[in-house]
A = this chain, B = another copy of it.
């Protein structure tokens, strides 16, 4: 009988980070994929990722609306609580042999808790990394709730072991997000430009030089989110390059972020910017591959961009602590610093590819480990 691996996808970036593993699990002769699509991955406001998944041949076994509206700290907690209540019923009905929790978004702890409490082995992908903000708490707490750890690199491996996890339970698979980047590096193109037209704002010639922006609110400082966004908006306006700007995730503070953007637009500014909700993962990477520079605080700048060699201007504390390659310049929330860094990066051009987050075969390694590892729900700290 096949091992049933239940994966809960809750957001657009989580899908990018797990897609190649989902496809590999689905294809593996000894595994059965049970797919639950939940939270902002179902919401039109965040680009209806579930539709992208269906187009990729990934039909959900269950879908769960669980985001409580408010986009503040209270509702982050509530959404997570509802997630646990509902995932418990879903796991009880689907009866998976293991559940997989992705990375460190706040609501993903629902998968780890529900699995743990139901004596289902918990697999964690992308543990052991270091960042600022609430993600840091969530990531390491999920490590302590998990039975198998599939990490991106040796630094993450060492950290997970140091936290008291048994060595034999930690595997360096690389990050599945790099698998998609590899396909793009290997010449995969993307032709359906309708998505690029769907946004609002400037009309950009996709074949010209352009930059990209992805900036998320930093939860622990959410009241400053509007100011932070505004500094970047001003820098992008001044640099004058055509820019594709991707709307922020569902997170406490994203309303504040969105507000800064809307205010700017009402003032008739942002004339060089096109705002997009989202693209399918590969399309996004293809557009990124062709860009001059990525600006913001997305982990894409640290992770996929290191492999693709894209120059990155990383703003603020959100990625603080995460291992990085030579492609990143860190700056504070300050219009002038941001502008200067953009110019430096554009002048520098693309960097050499780095494999610090994987070599592009993570998905298959994940499926391979899941087909062979001995599942065990008992665990004890090693010291």
Q: What secondary structure prevails in chain A residues at the interface with B?
A: helix
Which residues, 41 to 95 on A, are CB-close (under 8 Å) to B? Answer: 42-45, 62-70, 72-78, 80-93
Interface segment, one of A138-146, A171-179, A225-233: A138-146
Q: How large is the interface on A (under 10, 10 to 19, 20 to 34, 35 or more residues)?
A: 35 or more
* CB pair A80 B84 closer than 8 Å: yes
In the assembled complex, A200 has its CB within 8 A of some CB on chain B: yes
Provided the pairs A68-B82, A117-B77 are in contact, do residues A140 and B89 lie with their beta carbons within 8 angstroms? no
Bound complex: CA A159 to CA B381 (Å) = 9
Bound complex: CA A119 to CA B90 (Å) = 23
* CB pair B380 A136 closer than 8 Å: yes
Provided the pairs A74-B89, A77-B118, A136-B380 are in contact, do residues A67 and B68 lie with their beta carbons within 8 angstroms? yes
Residue of B nearest to A201 (CB): B266
Bound complex: CA A382 to CA B266 (Å) = 45
Query: 4 other contacts beyond A77-B88, A140-B164, A141-B145, with CB at 8 A cut-off?
Result: A69-B250, A141-B142, A163-B163, A200-B266
Residues of A within 8 A of B (CB): 40, 42-45, 62-70, 72-78, 80-93, 106, 109-110, 113-114, 116-119, 130, 132-134, 136-138, 140-145, 159, 162-164, 200, 219-220, 250, 255, 266, 320-321, 377-381, 383
